[in-house]
Amino acid sequence: LIEEMQADMQAPPGVTATPAGLAVIGIEAVDALSANRPLMIYAALAAVLVWLLIAYRNLVKTILPVLPVLIALGGSAMAIYLLWIELNPLTAVSGPLIIATCTEFSVLIMARYFEERERGYSPREAINTSSIRIGRAIAVSGITTIGGFGVLAFSGFPLLETFGIVTALNVGIALFTT
């Protein structure tokens, strides 16, 4: 669009013209976010790993909650691609959002699992008890979040519609992988 605008400009001799305005800002924002999307994802993953390592001081407890996050990131990217959803300034930040949501869900389940193991439950009993005690709360939280962002799909404003769809989809994927 910017290149078309520049080609269409008929500036008088001695005058220079540069495309400006909200459209140009929007295009530049999408380009910047799209170009830096991998960096944002890697930085968010690194921050999560560092924080979990500081909090747990245990490599297994640091890596376990990140596995569903990696699956959710891949699933999200694949779903966005298959649904032909284009990036915009809001959806471009979906990577760090899915990392945050999925990490929260995974850490809650894992923490509850280790609490049940400390109480003497077998691994199977601990996961079953964890799922019953906190799994429902996580599911309700996730479904509520999906509904809250999902209503944006009916906003009538394309940026918000796409953001609502992508966010609801990402939270659903994060919930499923957790």
Cα–Cα nearest to 138, from 100, 169, 107? 107
- pLDDT tens per residue across span 116-158: 999 999 999 999 999 898 988 999 999 999 999 999 999 988 8
What is the DSSP code string of 36-101? HHHHHHHHHHHHHHHHHHHHH--HHHHHTTHHHHHHHHHHHHHHHHHTTPPP-TTGGGHHHHHHHH
CA pair distance 34, 29, nearest whole angstrom: 8
The radius of gyration computed from the CA coordinates of the chain, to the nearest angstrom, equals: 21
CA pair distance 94, 72, nearest whole angstrom: 11
CA pair distance 173, 95, nearest whole angstrom: 12
Confidence of residue 95 (pLDDT cuts 50, 70, 90): confident
Neighbours of 58 (CB within 10 A): 12
- pLDDT tens per residue across span 22-69: 777 777 777 776 677 788 889 999 999 999 999 999 999 999 999 999
Helices 94-118/22-56 angle, 10° precision = 20
